[in-house]
Amino acid sequence: MSYSIYLWHLPVIFWLMGHHRTFGQNTLALPLNGLLVLAITLSLSTLTYYFVERPAMKLKRPALKVQQPEPQQELSVKR
């Protein structure tokens, strides 16, 4: 899910700024803008995880396990 957060945070910031949906530019607005971005980003990331990442992981084939040959016992020959 951390990758989804990474992918979503910047588009959310640009969208909010482009549509003038921020709390302004003053120092009081900075934490509010951060919480707004965090809330939207976590929501989108959660949706992406459950509706994109998890179904994709279910389609993934399990890795083939390489079997190690069992050690063979030495045969002793009597002379």
pTM beyond 0.85: the answer is no
pLDDT band at 76 (very low <50, low <70, confident <90, very high): low
Q: Is residue 11 part of a domain?
A: yes
**Looking at the domain assignment, is residue 18 inside a domain?**
yes
For the record, the structure tokens of 40 come out as 């939207």
The domain in which residue 25 lies consists of: 2-59
Measured between alpha carbons, how far is 73 from 14 in angstroms, rounded to an integer? 68
> How many C-beta atoms lie closer than 10 Å to residue 43's C-beta?
12
In a domain, 64, yes or no: no
Give residue 6's pLDDT: 92
pLDDT at 47: 96
